[in-house]
Amino acid sequence: MLTPLTGPLQGGADDRLGDTVARFEAALRNDPDYSFQAAAYADGECVLDVWGGPHLRGDSVMVPFSVTKNTIGFSIALLIDRGELDLDERVAHYWPEFAALGKQHVTVRMLLSHQAGLPQAEPPLSWDELLDHHAAAERLAGTRPFWYPGSAFGYHAITIGNLASELVFRVTGRTLHDFYEDEIRRPYDVDFYLGLPPGLDARRVPVQPMVQPVTQTDARLLPPLLARVMTFTGSSRDMANDERSWRFGHPATSGTGSARGIARLFAAAVTGVEGAPAFLRADTVSVVGQQQVRGFDEVLSQSDRAHSIVFQKPTPALPFGGPRAFGHDGAQGALGGVDPDTGVAYAYTVARGPWPGGADPRALALAAELGVAFGG
């Protein structure tokens, strides 16, 4: 049972989350521009559904950047659960053209844990190719990897969406968008979309730009490989706010939805919601949530990154749960995740994330507080 809230924080919260409510209320009072949503389930029951600030309503939807990747993770997980996809099979078994230029031994496991060396194509992909169901994947299949597959890992920030989408298509004959919509989003009433339907346009709010602190005057220099990876040809696009991007719904970066929808996606998959069973078996959850890589990321040039199958894993720099937790953050502050050990699934979206980006510290605090309140 959620207790209704009447202060600057709107919505409702379980009484065990009093400290969380007080923290969010203080943040709203201290920053009149702060606008966010947060939602959580514990063992399938909603324990938090709150929002506040001038830019977001309870039913607002927005692009949370890489939190979108959770749609890839759960679509892949469902194919594994059904026995239609084998993580240790070669990608070329399903997608023969992928074997070109030294990729014949790349496994599905390697591809989906950022080990394949394909964070960009050569020559670089165009925005038109990225926002297409097959064009970018075809070019990536014809690219020699940046590193020998399996020798290292590096964040395939955008291309993992095109690669995974083509893999799903080769297995099912459906695009990832259609598979996710037909098998997950619609059946489980998930308010998160790969391609926002026109009928929901009135609920969409734009992502606000981050504000660089006045005390930080140095230009942000990207690591060399990341700079190359994030250089695409053609007219530059704002992946969050450009209509072509969010209308297409790139599965790595420009899905559109609410914190309610993201939290429900995790809960429906892992614990079930409102008495209905989870759509994944517990063993499948363990398989896709198991850490595959950890250490130095070749693209981000960061020393302690970790991934399972598509999803991120907690690290000291990204402490969003226990050892079996998994999820994904977004470039401008959003976060979604689940901890199978506590049965807690949660999400946080924010209209204007804090500089310099990545998971908002307020979202990480929420994950910790939920773990304490409902961890048993």
- pLDDT tens digits for 37-66? 999 999 999 999 999 999 999 999 999 999
pLDDT of residue 174: 98
- 219 band by pLDDT with thresholds 50, 70 and 90: low
Question: What pLDDT does 218 receive?
Answer: 66
Residues in contact with 152: Cβ distance below 8 Å, sequence separation at least 6, in sequence order:
115, 117, 296, 298
173, part of any domain: yes
From 79-93, 216-230, 260-274, the region with the lowest mean pLDDT? 216-230
Report the pLDDT value the prediction gives residue 375, as an integer from 0 to 100.
86
Q: What is the pLDDT averaged over residues 218-240?
A: 85
Q: Is the pLDDT score of 324 beyond 70? A: yes
Is 118 within a domain? Answer: yes
**How much is the pTM?**
0.97
Split into its structural domains, the chain has a count of: 1
338 within a domain of the structure (yes/no): yes
Instruction: Tell me what pLDDT residue 236 has.
Output: 74
Segments forming the whole domain that contains residue 82: 3-211+222-374
pLDDT over 90 at 212, yes or no: no
Is residue 165, in this structure, part of any structural domain at all?
Answer: yes
CATH number, domain with residue 264: 3.40.710.10
Question: Does the residue 217 lie in any domain?
Answer: no
